[in-house]
Each structure stands twice: as structure tokens, then as C-alpha cells.
Copies of this chain bind each other. A is one copy, B any other.
Amino acid sequence: MFMHDKKLQYNAKPDQPDPLMARRLQEILGGQWGEMSVMNMYLFQGWNARGNEKYKDLLLDTATEEIGHVEMIATMIAQLLEGAPLATQDKAVQSDPALAAVMGGMNPQHAIVNGLGAAPKDSNGNAWTSNYIVSSGNLLADMRMNVTAESQGRLQVARLYEMTHDKGVKDMLGFLLARDTQHQLQWIEAIKELEEKEGVVVPGQVPSSYEVSDVSHTLFNFSAGEESQKVVEDKTAKDGQKFIYTGKPEAMGQKPILKPVTKDVYNTSAMDLF
């Protein structure tokens, strides 16, 4: 069960409106790596956790914080949109390149659909989709996704920080940079502990007899040129075994031959004889 505090977790107030920046900030709200993604991903991972209460709690702590981050960015966007130009044929556009850039670049749905409010979409107006997230039941696999999400997310925040001179926007982005630092580090900590318990290769419990083990530590060189060899040459993989490099990989399987199917499928008849 959840409760809401009307105050924001941190400041979210721009110095002045900027509808182009409003559009861009949508990326970290409703984009692939935006706050809606981490909020929903951590919620589902937390709710689905079976045992492992300290991780379940960590996931729900962080998920709950992320709802508040969506709130901050949505609030920021709504303020950046105040004063957006709306009419396409306004005379002002005819002599003002900066206004022309805004007219061309702002998201038309911000005005038409959302009444100058934030949308649950990315910077190109694509709807958020749960295709962006995962909850697999395997915590190590999921913690790797989580550190990815915080890395991609912080990268986007850093880029956005460079795209504006508005101190209010930068203040909020600086807060998000810091929280993404913590979130990267806490998932890295969890990964370290889980790898010690379950092994480096996910999932750790697969019997070794299942694997075709002679290709489990081999880099095959399918792309002409040998530069990739440097990554594994003379190195021991994190699971303790040596990497192998194969410069000229051979096909191990056969040329596949599929049988014709029955006539009621109406496939093309096999015509190999004509």
C-alpha cells in the first residue's frame, strides 16, 4: 500500500518556459530509460521477489522513490510549456529564428492532446510501453538490467544537462545525476553479493552437463580483422577459466533441409525438379 506526500522530493522549477526543452525532458520521463521504466521495473521485481527480503525491500524503496522522480519531471515539463506559441501563421514567426525553432521543434501533442501538460511518452511522442522492462524471477539477471537502466538513464540526464542554460532545470538534473549515482552503486553492490552466492554466469545453477562445453569460453572471429582478439588474449574470464580465440570458425551443423507440409497449408509446392 502506498501513501503520497504533496511536497516534491526535490526542487523542480525552471527559470523560464522552454517548450523545446520540455519536449526533450520527455525522454527521461517516458522514454526507454526514463523514470517510468525504472519505477515500474523495480515495482514488479519487488512484488515478484520470492524470499530474499533485503533485496525485495531495496527494490521497493527505490521503486517508491522513482514514482516521486516521475512526479518531479512531469511538474517541470508542465512549467516549461507555459507560454508555448500555438498558431502556425503568427507573424512573429516570420522574423524570429528562435521562435521558428520552437515552432518547428516543439511536440504538437503537448498543446493539442495534453493542454500544455506532461505526457507519458518519450521525446518523439512514442507511448511508454512495458516492453522496456523486465522482471525475470532471477535477481542477478535483473540487477544487471537495473544497473544498465541507471547507466543509460544517467547518461541521458548528463546530455540534457549540457543542452540548457536554465539554472532551475540544471538544479533538478543535478539531483537526478546524484540519485542515479547511488542507484548504480547499490545495484553493483547487490550484483557483487549475488555473484558470490550463485556464480558469475547467469543462471548459476545450470548443470555443466547441459552445456556444449567446448564452446563455452571461445571467441569466434566472424568479422574479418583480428582486433577483437585483444579483448580476450591471454586473459582469464571472471569464472576462472581461460578464454580461447578461434580465428577461422567452421560451421558445425548441416545444411538444413525442410520437409514439405500437407496440401491443406497451401504452401508453394516443392519445384526442385523443373
A212, B57: Cβ atoms under 8 Å?
A: no
The answer for the CA separation of A233 and B102 in the assembled complex, in Å, is 45
Select A68's contact among B1, B60, B123, B173, beta carbons within 8 Å.
B1
Given A98-B94, A156-B113, A211-B177, A198:B269 Cβ within 8 A: yes
This protein's copies in its complex: 6
Q: A43-B70, A78-B48, A185-B243 are in contact. Are A268 and B137 (CB under 8 A)?
A: yes
Q: Tell me, rounded to whole Å, the shortest Cβ–Cβ distance linking A11 to chain B.
A: 5
Whether A88 pairs with B164 at a CB distance below 8 angstroms is yes
Are B272 and A115 in touch, CB under 8 angstroms? Answer: no
Contact B97 A268 (CB under 8 A): no
Nearest-Cβ distance from residue A94 to partner chain B, whole angstroms: 5
Shortest CB-to-CB span from A142 to chain B, Å, is: 8
CB pair B179–A21 under 8 Å, yes or no, is no
User: Is A112 a contact partner of B5 (Cβ separation < 8 A)?
Assistant: no
Q: A184 → chain B, closest Cβ, in Å?
A: 5
Instruction: State the CA gap A159–B134 with chains docked (Å).
Output: 16
**In the complex, which residues 80-98 of chain A have their Cβ closer than 8 Å to any Cβ of chain B?**
81-82, 86-89, 93-98
Once the chains bind, are B89 and A218 in contact (CB under 8 Å)? no
